[in-house]
């Protein structure tokens, strides 16, 4: 055998193989850089006016589980066995998106406020609740579920505005159940102009966003179980005079979060025009912030006078009509800004305005069905109504009192509301059927 000729033949045969290997290396490298530019594929992202998850449009039905971090703790109020059972039940229903309160603030023993609180005083935290939040995110991640975490609250039930103003020397915040909501809103409208109160909030944001989960070892900023950081629950200016300061505060807050976390989405938590002193221009302004990734709206037919206590089931048609008009307004803004819309809060009472788990839910079922039917109706290349989170999940809770008391089960209704008012329980079979069927429809909508 001619060795030289044989070697030449081998070299000749190897050449295409080597070229192919280099091609594969180049393809891998380009794919890696494209992947890095997009961000990790398991983070929820926004592209072309739509939410994307795992490289496909993300349409969803979610719920509000404001008490998730408390339930995940091993301290007062904690029940990890129940939490895991709730998550498993939600996942089977097709729900993989939970809107969750990070934690409440200030004193305990207040009748209408969530407890135990997370932030006892500025920089003083209840570690059991932090552990509960860590545990919740760990368990959600195992189930491929994602959380929207809100960091503040305009309302009294978790501290929020009132707490920060108190800590900044603004005096005692009025309690709406005792002093009335006009007194409360007149007090908290100064949050938008109180820089000391805002700085205390920014310190809290830095502490939470830069945490590392004790169970997974992941930094929160690297955890795909978080879909979005949310500045607050229903942030409001509470007066036309404070709107400019309100806009400035929101913009500064979103910029701070973005400086700490480049992976996750950021949202306002706004109700929409109803949360902007009924001023569409204000709503457009705050949604135009480049650090705000998607538009949020909340819809409350009973609270907004679209239905009455004695006509809950009979008022569904007008509630749906008004909901459509409100959603259409948000969708016009969505198309203008090329940002998706999420209706992250909506609720409807039980028939007869009952708080009993055994009461019927015909009105609620019809209203939920209507809201779910509106998701994903935009053209393929247009900004879209991507998802919703009904308020709220009561699950396996067994409320003992109309007014929540320490030791009672947590359900979808926080302490300031009648227990059972807006909660969906596992015993609500007709409502669960509507949820399951609608979630099934959305599962493959992004693949059309």
CATH number for the domain spanning 66: value is 3.20.20.80
Cβ atoms 272, 330 nearer than 8 A: yes
Compute CA 352 distance to the chain's CA centroid, rounded to the nearest angstrom.
29
Q: Which of 319, 202, 192 is nearest to 254 (CA)?
A: 202
Structural domain that includes position 366: 56-446
Query: How far, CA to CA in Å, does 406 sit from each of 84, 111, 159, 293, 424?
Result: 22, 9, 17, 37, 21
* pTM for this prediction: 0.90
pLDDT beyond 90 at 285: yes
pLDDT beyond 80 at 35: no
Query: How far, CA to CA in Å, does 158 sit from each of 66, 98, 151, 268?
Result: 10, 18, 10, 17
What is the band of 436 on the pLDDT scale with cuts at 50, 70, 90?
very high
Place of tokens 């109309």: 402
Considering the domain boundaries, does residue 88 fall inside one? yes
Q: Which two tokens stand for residue 383?
A: 């900004």
What is the band of 41 on the pLDDT scale with cuts at 50, 70, 90?
low
Structure confidence by residue, pLDDT tens digits, 321-346: 999 999 999 999 999 999 999 999 99
Mean per-residue pLDDT for 396-401?
96
Considering the domain boundaries, does residue 93 fall inside one? yes
Structure confidence by residue, pLDDT tens digits, 94-152: 999 999 999 999 999 999 999 999 999 999 999 999 999 999 999 999 999 999 999 99
What is the band of 42 on the pLDDT scale with cuts at 50, 70, 90?
confident
Considering the domain boundaries, does residue 253 fall inside one? yes
* Residue 187, preceding peptide bond in cis (omega within 30° of 0): no
pLDDT beyond 90 at 9: no
Report pLDDT for 344.
99
Backbone angles phi, psi at 324, to 5 degrees: -60, -45
Report pLDDT for 31.
42
What is the band of 18 on the pLDDT scale with cuts at 50, 70, 90?
very low
Considering the domain boundaries, does residue 48 fall inside one? no
Query: How far, CA to CA in Å, does 72 sit from each of 86, 89, 305?
Result: 11, 16, 36
Considering the domain boundaries, does residue 406 fall inside one? yes
Query: How far, CA to CA in Å, does 335 sit from each of 134, 323, 339, 340, 371?
Result: 36, 18, 7, 8, 19
Mean per-residue pLDDT for 378-398?
89
Range name among 1-10, 79-88, 142-151, 437-446 with the lowest pLDDT average: 1-10
pLDDT beyond 50 at 17: no
pLDDT beyond 80 at 245: yes
Domain count for the chain: 1
pLDDT beyond 90 at 5: no
């Amino acid at each position: 055998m001619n060795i030289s000729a044989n070697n030449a033949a081998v070299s000749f045969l190897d050449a295409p193989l080597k070229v192919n290997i280099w091609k594969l290396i180049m393809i891998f490298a380009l794919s890696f850089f494209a992947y890095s530019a997009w961000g990790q594929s398991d983070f929820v992202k926004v592209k072309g006016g739509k939410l994307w998850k795992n490289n496909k449009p993300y349409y969803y039905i979610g719920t509000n589980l404001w008490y998730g971090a408390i339930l995940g703790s091993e301290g007062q109020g904690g029940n990890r066995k129940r939490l895991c059972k709730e998550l498993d039940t939600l996942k089977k229903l097709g729900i993989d998106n939970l809107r969750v309160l990070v934690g409440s603030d200030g004193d305990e023993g207040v009748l209408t406020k969530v407890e135990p609180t997370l932030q006892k005083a500025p920089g003083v935290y209840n570690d059991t609740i932090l552990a509960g939040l860590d545990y919740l995110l760990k368990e959600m991640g195992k189930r491929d579920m994602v959380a929207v975490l809100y960091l503040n609250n305009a309302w009294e039930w978790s501290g929020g505005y009132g707490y920060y103003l108190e800590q900044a020397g603004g005096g005692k915040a009025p309690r709406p159940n005792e002093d009335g909501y006009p007194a409360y809103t007149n007090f908290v409208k100064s949050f938008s102009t109180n820089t000391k109160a805002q700085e205390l909030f920014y310190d809290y944001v830095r502490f939470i966003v830069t945490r590392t989960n004790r169970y997974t070892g992941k930094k929160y900023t690297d955890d795909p179980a978080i879909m979005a950081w949310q500045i607050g629950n229903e942030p409001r200016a509470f007066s036309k005079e404070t709107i400019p300061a309100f806009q400035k505060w929101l913009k500064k807050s979103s910029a701070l979060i973005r400086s700490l976390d480049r992976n996750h989405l950021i949202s306002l938590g706004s109700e929409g025009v109803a949360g902007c002193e009924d001023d569409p221009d204000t709503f457009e302004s705050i949604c135009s912030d480049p650090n705000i990734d998607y538009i949020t709206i909340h819809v409350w037919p009973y609270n907004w006078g679209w239905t009455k206590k004695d006509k809950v089931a009979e008022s569904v048609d007008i509630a749906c009509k008004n909901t459509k008009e409100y959603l259409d307004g948000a969708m016009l803004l969505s198309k203008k800004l090329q940002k998706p819309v999420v209706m992250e809060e909506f609720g409807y009472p039980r028939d007869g305005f009952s708080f009993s788990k055994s009461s019927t839910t015909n009105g609620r079922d019809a209203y939920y069905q209507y809201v779910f039917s509106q998701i994903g109706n935009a053209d393929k290349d247009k900004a879209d109504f991507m998802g919703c989170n009904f308020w709220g999940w009561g699950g396996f809770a067994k409320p003992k009192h109309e007014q929540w008391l320490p030791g009672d089960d947590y359900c979808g209704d926080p302490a300031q509301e009648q227990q059972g008012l807006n909660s969906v329980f596992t015993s609500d079979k007709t409502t669960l059927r509507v949820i399951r069927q609608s979630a099934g429809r959305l599962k493959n909508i992004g693949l059309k």
